[in-house]
């Protein structure tokens, strides 16, 4: 028994994505159209352009997902779409198209929370690999350009999932901080993957950044990355890094994407140390709080997901910190960490089983929380 065949659609940010997933367990297709080349020109995501690009991409991307899966729309059991959080105009493109398809084909519509999608990416990957289901409760660290949050995740007897917020960022998301640091160092956009590659050439203990102090007795699992970002800025202002920054800005001007070797050649040792030390500070902060959260709730396992989960240093740091206390870290491959629609279709499978269908007035919910504390 394969379970429901679900067409997933994701347009919450800057990826137009569609996928067909069988039973929350097997990708028949997973098509992602990245808008990075469009936004790179501006050094960040421009919401109006995101909506326009989704409008351009949504029809062909959904068609490709069905074609690659060799599935007719008539054969899918439901259409799942990201209902939030995300950019309002971007979400609306996916939601409106999903409604039209569902209505025309006579299929149920399922509204999926984007962060539930990221969490289900871990489960989808494990099922595809024939690995056992995680034991519950688990702690999930969802870390991306828009989010940095820790959740307690449990599966109920009836198969539905229950989430509880344990901590979240009070300012920048980790990915956002990385993108901003990369921008101020002239490394181009998006900066996370570039920092990941350049950091291996620097000494990560060179600069000891002070850890953020968070007020609030029950808020010690929250994060803050804006202070770290400011500390990097101050470092660039108090050390002789300006010429290097200008040289790299010239390389990345106008949305150009120079080869990594060219960027590396334009970085002196001090800059590489700064990049490595920043990345290490983020990885350590995320890892220590995730393991503290796992301890607090007596978690059976740890899930790591979201775009920043692609970061190799974070994966290593969290795996090592967790292993010291006996936990395994479950993280999907990079294609399932960054935004995609397979994770949305996978998260929709237990909702399908519960007949948790959306009505035709399903709105876009830009600020939708996944769970309360
Ligand atoms: O999940 P995602 O694709 O979109 C959001 O929901 O935000 O995450 C995108 C974020 C960006 O900030 C990007 O710089 C970051 O993930 N990212 C990385 C890496 N790959 C992507 N950050 C650090 N290291 C990476 N290898
Ligand atoms: Zn995301």
- Give the pLDDT of the chain (373 residues) as one tens digit per residue: 579 999 999 999 999 999 999 999 999 999 999 999 999 999 899 999 999 999 999 999 999 999 999 999 999 999 999 999 999 999 999 999 999 999 999 999 999 999 999 999 999 999 999 999 999 999 999 999 999 999 999 999 999 999 999 999 999 999 999 999 999 999 999 999 999 999 999 999 999 999 888 887 778 999 999 999 999 999 999 999 999 999 999 999 999 999 999 999 999 999 999 999 999 999 999 999 999 999 999 999 999 999 999 999 999 999 999 999 999 999 999 999 999 999 999 999 999 999 999 999 999 999 999 999 9
User: Ligand 1 within 6 A of 145 CB?
Assistant: yes
In angstroms, the CA 364 to CA 351 distance is 18
Q: Which atom, in ligand 1's list, is nearest to the CA of 144?
A: 8
Q: How far is the CA of 338 from the centre of ligand 1 (A)?
A: 6
> How far apart, in Å, do the first and last CA atoms of the chain sit?
37
126, 131, 134, 140: CA torsion to nearest 10: -30
What pLDDT does 218 receive?
Answer: 78
pLDDT at site 86: 98
Half-sphere exposure of 317 (CA within 13 A, CB side): 19
Using CA positions, which residue lies closest to atom 1 of ligand 1? Answer: 307
Residue 312 alpha carbon, nearest atom of ligand 1: 26
Residue nearest to atom 7 of ligand 1 (CA): 145
Check pocket membership of 178 for ligand 1, CB cut-off 6 A. Answer: yes
Nearest residue (by CA) to ligand 1, atom 16, is 307
Distance (angstroms) between ligand 1 centre and the Cα of 325 equals: 27
Nearest CA to ligand 1 atom 24: 311
Q: Is the peptide bond before 73 cis (omega within 30 degrees of 0)?
A: no
What is the 12 CA–ligand 1 centroid distance (Å)?
14
The per-residue pLDDT for 294 is 98
Full DSSP string of 244-310 = HHHHHHHHHGGG----HHHHHHT--HHHHHHHHHHHHHHHHHHHHHHHHHHHHHT-SEEEEESGGGG
310 lines ligand 1 (CB under 6 A): yes
Question: Ligand 2 centroid to 125 CA: how many Å?
Answer: 16
Pocket test for ligand 1, best of 119, 173, 192 (most atoms within 8 A of CB): 192
* CA 130–ligand 2 middle distance (angstroms): 25
Are 115 and 145 in contact by the 8 Å Cβ rule? The answer is no
Element housing 345 (H / E): helix 342-353
Q: Are 353 and 86 in contact (CB under 8 A)?
A: no
Ligand located closest to 334 CA: 1
- Which ligand 1 atom minimizes the distance to the CA of 173? 12
What pLDDT score does 220 carry? 93
Give 190 Cα–ligand 1 centroid separation in angstroms.
Answer: 8
Q: Is the CB of 13 under 6 A from ligand 1?
A: yes
The pLDDT assigned to 217 comes to: 73
Residue-level pLDDT at 268: 98
The burial of 341, by beta-carbon neighbours within 10 Å (0-12 exposed, 13-18 middle, 19 or more buried), is given as buried
Q: What is the model's pLDDT at position 2? A: 76
d(CA 8, CA 3): 15
Ligand 1 test: best mutation among 140, 187, 307, 370, most atoms within 8 Å of CB? 307
Using DSSP, state whether 55 is helix, strand or coil. helix
Chain CA centroid to CA 302, Å:
16
Regarding the beta carbon of 308 and ligand 1, being less than 6 Å apart is answered yes
């Amino acid at each position: 028994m394969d379970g429901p065949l679900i067409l997933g659609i994701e347009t919450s940010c800057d990826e137009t994505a569609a996928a067909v997933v069988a039973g929350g367990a097997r990708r028949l297709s997973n098509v992602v159209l990245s808008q990075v080349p469009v936004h790179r020109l501006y050094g960040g995501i421009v919401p109006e352009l995101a909506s326009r690009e989704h409008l351009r991409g949504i029809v062909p991307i959904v068609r490709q997902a069905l074609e690659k899966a060799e599935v007719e729309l008539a054969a899918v059991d439901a259409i799942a779409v990201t209902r939030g959080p995300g950019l309002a105009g971007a979400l609306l493109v996916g939601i409106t198209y999903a409604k039209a398809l569902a209505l025309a084909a006579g299929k149920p519509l399922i509204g999926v929370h984007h962060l539930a999608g990221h969490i289900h990416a871990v489960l989808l990957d494990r099922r595809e690999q024939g690995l056992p289901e995680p034991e519950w409760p688990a702690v999930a660290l969802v870390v991306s350009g828009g989010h940095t949050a820790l959740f307690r995740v449990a599966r109920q007897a009836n198969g539905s999932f229950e989430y509880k917020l344990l901590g979240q960022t009070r300012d920048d998301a980790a990915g956002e901080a990385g993108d901003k640091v990369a921008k101020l160092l002239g490394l181009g956009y998006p900066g996370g993957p570039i920092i990941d590659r350049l950091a291996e050439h620097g000494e990560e203990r060179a600069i000891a950044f002070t850890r953020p102090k968070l007020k609030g007795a029950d808020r010690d699992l929250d994060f803050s990355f804006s202070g770290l970002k400011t500390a990097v800025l101050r470092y660039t202002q108090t050390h002789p890094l300006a010429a290097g920054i200008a040289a790299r800005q010239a390389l990345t001007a106008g949305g150009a994407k120079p080869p990594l070797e060219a960027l590396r050649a334009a970085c002196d040792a001090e800059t590489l140390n700064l990049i490595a030390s920043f990345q290490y500070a983020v990885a350590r902060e995320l890892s220590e709080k995730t393991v503290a959260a796992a301890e607090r709730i007596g978690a059976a396992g740890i899930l790591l997901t979201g775009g920043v989960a692609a970061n190799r240093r974070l994966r290593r740091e969290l795996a090592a910190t967790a292993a010291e206390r006996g936990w395994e870290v479950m993280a999907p491959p990079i294609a399932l960490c960054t935004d995609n629609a397979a994770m949305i279709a996978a998260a929709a499978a237990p909702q399908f089983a519960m007949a948790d269908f959306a009505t035709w007035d399903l709105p876009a919910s830009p600020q939708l929380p996944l769970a309360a504390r």
